[in-house]
Amino acid sequence: MNEQLKLQCPQCRAIDWSRDGFAIAADPATGEIVRRRLAPSNIPDEAESTWSCSQCGHALFGGTSIGGALHELQIAHLE
């Protein structure tokens, strides 16, 4: 199974997510997943924020599999 399918927005199928100053998106030219911090975090370490699709605004609530995959990518980037 294509790993990128797990990251697609269920509404618009884009891979273009943001949460608390951090972005995960597919590069339009290469399709490569790009992870980067755009701004300092604004939430305390123990708080949880919601991933939002930058294309359509869809928000991921609760413990979704997409949210979990995005969180793992974010942690891997920060290590």
Token pair for 16: 């273009």
pLDDT tens digits for range 20-76: 999 999 999 998 999 999 998 887 655 567 999 999 999 998 778 999 899 899 888
In this predicted structure, the answer to whether residue 79 has a pLDDT above a threshold of 60 is no
What per-residue confidence (pLDDT) applies to 1?
A: 43
The count of structural domains within the chain is 1
- Total length of the chain: 79
Domain with 67, as residue range(s), is 3-78
